[in-house]
Amino acid sequence: MSAGGGKKAIIAALTANAGIAVAKFIGAAITGSASMLAEAVHSVADTSNQGLLLFGQRAAAKDADELHQFGYGRNRYFYSFVVALVLFTLGSVYAIYEGIHKIQHPEELSQPIVAIVILGVAIGLETYSFMTAVRESRPLKGDASWWRFIRTSRSPELPVVLLEDTGALIGLILAFGAVGLTMITDDPVYDGIGTLCIGVLLGIIAVVLIIEMKSLLIGEGATPEQDRAIRDNLIDGEKITSVIHLKSEYIGPEEMLVAAKVAIAPGLGISDVADAIDAAETRVRTAVPFARLIYLEPDLYRQAK
């Protein structure tokens, strides 16, 4: 994923969520709906999160310096991790607290039809944001499932936006149903139940994001497909005969570090070895463009006795 492609989805989500948050707060103030208020706080969290993602992309674009000699690419992982924490604390914990409170002390809704209208508009705007993220993600997803894309993507922003928008849409449907049941039954306890369900939903999504972003922040290696491509292209069958061992790690969403020890054919001169190493690096970078930093150690393969 290019930073530019992810930025389009982030800006679409930020714009939609900012407008939705304002509308929800107005609706919550008019109706007194707890589920509407929980959704308003959820939208504020999402809007803040998109701002953090944009800031993370900007911070990651800084040039490498003496202190951070491999650059600042992991800023995008760090701020995506912060997004997951914000979603959990500001979104999930608040909604669960508010839901339990409203179940224990239910309050009548005033003008619930206002909440229904606002939620309907919010669903439309959130659908636009979600479809933008889907379009941006589809070329990168390829034939993989959406769940596999979220689990294996080394670029954090689109999986974050996809999960946030999915949670927002489901949360809006839950709020819509809670307000609707409250109107039909004249029992405000359903509003509290809907709020509690929204909190649990946000908690699940936040935990998934925390796990995935923590893994990226610690450092993940090449995907199995990329690992095979690197190994295949290191070997030319003449000067480089095998890969003795290979290590890789993403030091940013679009920059991979590759370190390998390769077996050189016996009898080669220093100049031939240098040419073989240079050619191998070129082949690997062509096959796996994200493999930008490559360190190869030539050696003679010796079978263990």
Question: Of 143, 240, 137, 180, which Cα lies nearest the Cα of 31?
Answer: 180
Tokens of 28: 């919550």
Order the strands of the 255-264 sheet from edge to edge.
240-252, 255-264, 291-299
Please report the pLDDT score of residue 83 as a whole number. 85
> In the prediction, which pLDDT does 303 show?
58
pLDDT value for 5 = 43
Which residues in the chain show pLDDT less than 70? 1-5, 301-305
**pLDDT score recorded for residue 301:** 65
Rounded to two decimals, the pTM is 0.78
User: Residue 302: what pLDDT?
Assistant: 62
Residue 191: what pLDDT? 85
CB atoms near residue 207 (< 10 Å): 14
Closest CA to 262 of 291, 222, 304, 296: 296
